[in-house]
Amino acid sequence: MAGRIRVALVNDYELVLRGLAEMLAPFSDRIDVVQLDARHVVDVPVDVALYDTFAQPRPDDEDVSRLSANPQIRTVAVFTWKMDRDLIEAAVRRGATGYFPKSMTGEELAAALVSVADGDRVIGAPRRRVPSGPGVDWPGRSHGISDRQSEILALITQGKSNLEIAELTHLSPNTVKTHIRTLYSKIGATNRVDAVLWGTGNGFRPDHRGIDR
């Protein structure tokens, strides 16, 4: 594709969107980020909608379906820690032509976006949850909260139970409880109410609860 591609960044959290925009900023000769607003649907023509799955309360494939149905979006790519085979297959079935692990560097992400904009399919290999690559950011990182703990706190702030969090993060309930205990010690919380209050005051409240609605 000649010239720059047009990319919309999609997520419910302003901090996540800003981190993605900063990650792609060095590649402005190839990528033009034309929509960066958690409160609105994609309403301008774009080559790729890059959907970051951080703390999304619904299954990824449903969100991909809504994005794929938007006539302003030529194709959809998913950016995620969750590289489970069933999630990958569901996203592809619903219309995604890119499924990118968050272990990618900014350079790799930019190249993958250009490839899917050119009509290629770029799908990461199924594996366990991937580690965060250089440049990937998340709410609470400056407070020493890990990427996994950040996602769990965001879901707690949304009112999700431990069982719901386990399902959404593909973790066992006991593992979720372990992460929550560690998280509480980092933020000085003694119970769920404390965690919600800390989360809402530190960027963990979603700006808009529906993807592309």
Domain of 154, CATH number, reads: 1.10.10.10
* Pair (91, 164) in one structural domain: no
Q: What's the pLDDT score for residue 1?
A: 58
Final residue in a domain of this structure, among 123, 155, 183:
123
In the chain (213 residues long), the average pLDDT of successive 10-residue segments reads 86 90 96 85 94 83 90 96 91 96 96 97 88 89 93 95 92 94 96 96 76 62
The whole domain housing 179 covers: 141-200
**Number of domains within the chain:** 2
Q: List own/partner pairs for 93-99 with CB under 8 A and 24 or more apart.
A: 93/61, 94/61, 94/62, 94/64, 94/65, 94/68, 95/64, 95/65, 95/67, 95/68, 95/69, 96/51, 96/64, 96/68, 97/121, 97/122, 98/48, 98/50, 98/122, 98/123, 99/123, 99/124
- pTM recorded for the entire structure: 0.90
Q: Is residue 133 part of a domain?
A: no
